[in-house]
């Protein structure tokens, strides 16, 4: 597989998103997005499970400005493995307007962690989706978790809802703030008050170090795009139950969206449906991400 040849079924990000009707509050943060390469400068990892299109920092800044965000949190995508250079390069060219979440292996040195911190990395991501990565043993992850405490970083976890029963005790034992991607990927055709989403709500309720991204309706919805009506009750419930511990992000450039590519402007217009007051919107988009990523 060539480092530069994107997968045959790869869908590039939306070339011309619509201007959202929802005006984002001043200081709004897109708290979940990625950069891909460009592959010629930042090669994709040999162990990657997909090869995306290039989606570099300049394109991310253009989207940020067009949608009305002021800042970004750039999350290391699995196609770059534990080589965080593309994210670090973006952070170093963001004039303080971006922070990052890295992927690291256990053999990383303290000096390397220190320099990631200086660049603006504030967390590490543990990915449990088998189609994306082969997760290291839990004991290894726990040792990484213990080491990053020194920099007051947090852990971002990405998993499928059906894996949560098995992973619950491990997650609950993590010693840092923990941020769950995309609400723990619930099956939104199931009941909001059923056992599956109930376990995710229990994690949030019983562990005050847990945060959650109410992102990716386009991944979770079972309905034709772009209304994502079936995701609204889940995300709204999360925002209203845990207003101080929710984050939102576009997920640009939307890796592995095989059936449709969302319009990022329409995604922004989803926000007022799940955060229905100015106060909730301000927490979700400004206060919470600033507290976690800038006000350490």
77 binds ligand 0GY (CB under 6 A): yes
135 binds ligand 0GY (CB under 6 A): no
> Nearer to ligand 0GY by C-beta: 54 or 251?
251
Helix (H) or strand (E) holding 220: helix 217-220
> Nearer to ligand 0GY by C-beta: 129 or 282?
129
Contact 287, 206 (CB under 8 A): no
78 binds ligand 0GY (CB under 6 A): yes
List 187, 251, 269, 287, catalytic entry: 251
> Nearer to ligand 0GY by C-beta: 20 or 52?
52
Q: Using CB under 6 A, pick the residue from 132, 172, 199, 261 that binds ligand 0GY.
A: 132
Contacts of 117 (CB under 8 A, 6+ apart): 151, 153
Contact 57, 93 (CB under 8 A): yes
State how far the Cα of 296 lies from the Cα of 149, in Å rounded to an integer. Answer: 12
List the x/- string, 168-197, binding to ligand 0GY by CB under 6 A: -------------x----------------
CB of 32 to ligand 0GY, least distance (A): 6
Residue 229 phi, psi (nearest 5): -55, -35
The beta-strand segments (E) located in the chain are 29-33, 71-75, 98-102, 121-127, 154-158, 178-180, 210-213, 246-247
- Residue 264 known to be catalytic: no
In terms of phi and psi (left: phi > 0; alpha: psi -120 to 50; beta: otherwise), the region of 81 is left
Residue 160 phi, psi (nearest 5): -90, 145
30 binds ligand 0GY (CB under 6 A): no
CB of 125 to ligand 0GY, least distance (A): 7
256 binds ligand 0GY (CB under 6 A): yes
Applying CB under 6 A, the residues found at the interface with ligand 0GY are 34, 77-79, 132, 158, 181, 251, 255-256
């Amino acid at each position: 597989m060539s480092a530069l040849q994107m997968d045959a079924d790869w869908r590039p990000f939306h070339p011309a998103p619509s201007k959202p009707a929802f005006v984002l509050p001043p200081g709004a943060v897109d708290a979940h997005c990625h950069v891909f390469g460009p592959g010629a400068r930042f090669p994709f990892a040999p162990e990657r499970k997909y090869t995306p299109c290039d989606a570099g920092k300049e394109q991310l800044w253009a989207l940020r400005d067009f949608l009305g965000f002021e800042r970004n949190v750039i999350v290391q995508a699995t196609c770059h493995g534990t080589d965080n250079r593309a994210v670090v390069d973006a952070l170093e060219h963001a004039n303080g307007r971006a922070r990052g979440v890295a992927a690291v292996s256990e053999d990383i040195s303290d000096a390397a962690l220190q320099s990631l911190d200086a660049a603006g990395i504030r967390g590490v991501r543990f990915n449990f989706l088998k189609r994306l990565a082969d997760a290291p043993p839990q004991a290894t992850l726990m040792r990484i978790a213990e080491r990053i405490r020194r920099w007051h970083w947090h852990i971002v976890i990405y998993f499928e809802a059906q894996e949560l029963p098995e992973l619950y005790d491990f997650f609950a034992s993590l010693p840092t703030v923990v941020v769950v991607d995309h609400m723990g990927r619930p099956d939104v055709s199931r009941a909001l008050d059923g056992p599956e989403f109930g376990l995710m709500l229990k994690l949030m309720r019983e562990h005050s170090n847990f945060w959650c991204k109410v992102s990716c309706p386009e991944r979770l919805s079972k309905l034709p795009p772009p209304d994502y009506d079936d995701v609204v009750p889940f995300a709204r419930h999360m925002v209203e139950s845990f207003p101080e511990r929710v984050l939102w992000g576009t997920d640009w450039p939307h890796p592995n969206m095989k059936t449709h590519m969302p319009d990022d402007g329409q995604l922004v217009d989803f926000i007022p449906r799940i955060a229905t007051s100015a106060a909730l919107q301000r927490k979700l988009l400004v206060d919470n991400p600033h507290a976690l990523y800038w006000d350490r």
